[in-house]
Amino acid sequence: MPLPAPLTDTLHAIFGPAACSTGPAERLAYAYDNSRLNAQPDAVVFPSTHEQVEALVRACRAHHVPLVARGRGSNTTGATVPVEGGVVASFERMNRILRIDPVDRLAVVEPGVLNGDLQRALAPHGLFWPPDPTSSPWCSIGGNLACNSAGPRAVKYGTPRENTLGLRAVAGSGEGFRCGTYTSKGATGYDLTRLLIGSEGTLALITEATLKLTPRPSSVRTLRATYRDVGTAAQAVARIMGQPVTPCALEFIDETALRLAHAHAGDAVPLAGALLMIEVDGEPGTLDAAVAAVADAARGEGLETLQVAAGADEAQRLWAARKALSPAQRTIAPDKINEDVVVPVSRLPALVEGIRQLAARHEVLIVSFGHAGNGNLHVNLLPRDAAERARARACLAEVFALVVELEGTLSGEHGIGLSKREFMPLALEPATLALMRGVKHAFDPDAILNPGKLLP
């Protein structure tokens, strides 16, 4: 239904005609994200200042109208789909890098800054911000924070929660506030910064972030190991993560994924029971010893080949299997179900074997790959028709149950959004969910921020 006329008038007064639209084309463009779920908003606005966001939240609260914050829509769980209509606030125009401070190793940015643009701006200073999701060239920092999106480097450098010092935001009450510090240490009150990161826009709208930066290592070495089967590869992951040298990336690809990627990309992708892509970074004087330690841990039962790239060009060729995965999957299953789950690294062999058994029992093609150093696997169910889609949904529920049984959790970086919301009681006990609802009410008393997401 259309927005109340007084609210429409207020939005036009706040944003002006160039930054507020109720037209069908704009509403359609902001109705979906990478989950392929779809629900049209009643209006789209494009904030450019913190003060506009405060006025926007107050106006939506006064009229009890839903408000959904949005970055670049690369989320895969439906977290930015406006399922109850209302207003979508796209932060793409709040895209300024406000400050880079090499001495204190921090950057202050607006939420619409693209991850890739930030990395390019930091490179001349010899610094980087560690979170690097697959969509990093075009995803926004605000979106990274909303879902705690990390990527391969998290195994060594951590997620956005470990790499964000402070935030400026607007709560669902319409009150603006700051939290966190400009220092690398702080013990002053509750840690609202980490609370907001991963909250998927259900508590507050982030308008500014102070990010913790890391010196860029001068050298990186890439290794690729193939194994007889997924079990021996998973055991190798546990060995690699059990020795002192932490790789900066440790990616796992199962046999089914390799076959698909090989069919798509040819001989650049090896055929094996499983594959590990490993990167080690550091300074030239210590890198050889670090690579040797990781290579020794990779060796063991089931190892078939172990290659160390001689240079950047060869490293790119070794990464060919990982890069071919997404297009290969889309060609056979446009309706693929892409979920990321996490278990303790020691339980990774059991997770991989359990997923193999579930795929066989439900007669559904499942491709598993991802950030094995964190125990974070992307489980891709690839149904090809209606019958397989029904079996895939049943299989997915058992995948989540297996993950919880192995002391894992439902998501490592994609978030909950719509797609995992119904499974939250499986992962969290009632008392925990009740406390979360209490936090939600404190920040957003009228429940206008991203309704229908995250909490069951």
Which pair of tokens denotes residue 35? 């989950």
Q: How many secondary structure helices (H) and strands (E) does the chain include?
A: 16, 18
Please state the length of the chain.
Answer: 456
pLDDT tens-digit profile, the chain (456 residues): 689 999 999 999 999 999 999 999 999 999 999 888 899 999 999 999 999 999 999 999 999 999 999 999 998 899 999 999 999 999 999 999 999 999 999 999 999 999 999 999 999 999 999 999 888 888 999 999 999 999 899 999 999 999 999 999 999 999 999 999 999 999 999 999 999 999 999 999 999 999 999 999 999 999 999 999 988 999 999 999 999 999 999 999 989 888 888 887 788 888 999 999 999 999 999 999 999 999 999 999 999 999 999 888 888 887 777 777 766 666 666 778 888 999 999 898 899 899 999 999 999 999 888 899 999 999 989 898 889 989 999 999 999 999 999 999 999 999 999 999 999 999 999 999 999 999 999 999 999 999 999 999
Which pair of tokens denotes residue 315? 């490293």
Instruction: Looking at the structure, tell me whether residues 13 and 107 fall in a common domain.
Output: no
Residue 439, Cβ density class (10 Å: 0-12 exposed, 13-18 middle, ≥19 buried): middle
Instruction: Looking at the structure, tell me whether residues 151 and 250 fall in a common domain.
Output: no
Spatial CB neighbours of 251, under 8 Å, sequence gap ≥ 6: 152, 276, 277, 278, 322, 369, 370, 371, 372
Instruction: Looking at the structure, tell me whether residues 432 and 344 fall in a common domain.
Output: yes
At 332 the pLDDT is: 67
Instruction: Looking at the structure, tell me whether residues 59 and 136 fall in a common domain.
Output: no
Coil/strand/helix, residue 384: coil
- The CATH number that applies at residue 274 is 3.30.70.2190
Residue 362 falls within a domain, yes or no?
yes
> Which alpha helices (H) appear in 302-376, and where do they start and end?
312-318, 320-332, 348-362
Query: CA-CA distance, 266 to 394, in Å (whole number)?
Result: 33
Residue 136 falls within a domain, yes or no?
yes
At 257 the pLDDT is: 86
Instruction: Looking at the structure, tell me whether residues 296 and 235 fall in a common domain.
Output: yes
Question: What's the order of all strands across the beta sheet hosting 43-45?
Answer: 20-21, 43-45, 87-90, 67-70
Domain closes at, from 29, 58, 90 = 90
Quickly tell me which residue has 């297009």 as its tokens: 327
- The CATH number that applies at residue 345 is 3.30.70.2740
Which residues are bridge partners to 337 per DSSP? Answer: 381
At 327 the pLDDT is: 67
What does the DSSP 8-state code read for residue 301?
Answer: T
Determine the straight-line distance between the first and last CA of the chain, rounded to whole angstroms. 25
Instruction: Looking at the structure, tell me whether residues 143 and 208 fall in a common domain.
Output: yes
Instruction: Looking at the structure, tell me whether residues 176 and 148 fall in a common domain.
Output: yes
Instruction: Looking at the structure, tell me whether residues 305 and 396 fall in a common domain.
Output: no
At 312 the pLDDT is: 83
At 315 the pLDDT is: 85
At 261 the pLDDT is: 83
Is the pTM higher than 0.75? yes
Residue 183 falls within a domain, yes or no?
yes
Residue 456 falls within a domain, yes or no?
no
Q: Could you count the other beta carbons within 10 Å of the beta carbon of residue 138?
A: 13
Structural domain of 434: 333-442
Q: Could you count the other beta carbons within 10 Å of the beta carbon of residue 431?
A: 8
Which pair of tokens denotes residue 286? 């210590």
At 333 the pLDDT is: 66
Residue 449 falls within a domain, yes or no?
no
Instruction: Looking at the structure, tell me whether residues 228 and 149 fall in a common domain.
Output: no
Which stretch of DSSP H or E encloses residue 401? helix 386-405
Domain closes at, from 67, 90, 113 = 90
Domain closes at, from 163, 180, 215 = 215
Query: CA-CA distance, 301 to 228, in Å (whole number)?
Result: 9
Which pair of tokens denotes residue 64? 């009890």
Instruction: Looking at the structure, tell me whether residues 27 and 106 fall in a common domain.
Output: no
How many distinct structural domains can be found in the chain? 4
Cα dihedral 356, 361, 365, 367, rounded to 10, equals -20
Residue 222 falls within a domain, yes or no?
yes
Residue 448 falls within a domain, yes or no?
no
**400 residue type, one letter:** F
Nearest to 161 by CA among 131, 138, 202, 133: 131
Instruction: Looking at the structure, tell me whether residues 179 and 120 fall in a common domain.
Output: yes
Instruction: Looking at the structure, tell me whether residues 222 and 211 fall in a common domain.
Output: no
Residue 167 falls within a domain, yes or no?
yes
- The CATH number that applies at residue 80 is 3.30.43.10
Query: CA-CA distance, 290 to 287, in Å (whole number)?
Result: 5
Backbone angles phi, psi at 232, to 5 degrees: -70, -30
Quickly tell me which residue has 């895969």 as its tokens: 76
Nearest to 94 by CA among 200, 15, 181: 15
Query: CA-CA distance, 80 to 78, in Å (whole number)?
Result: 6
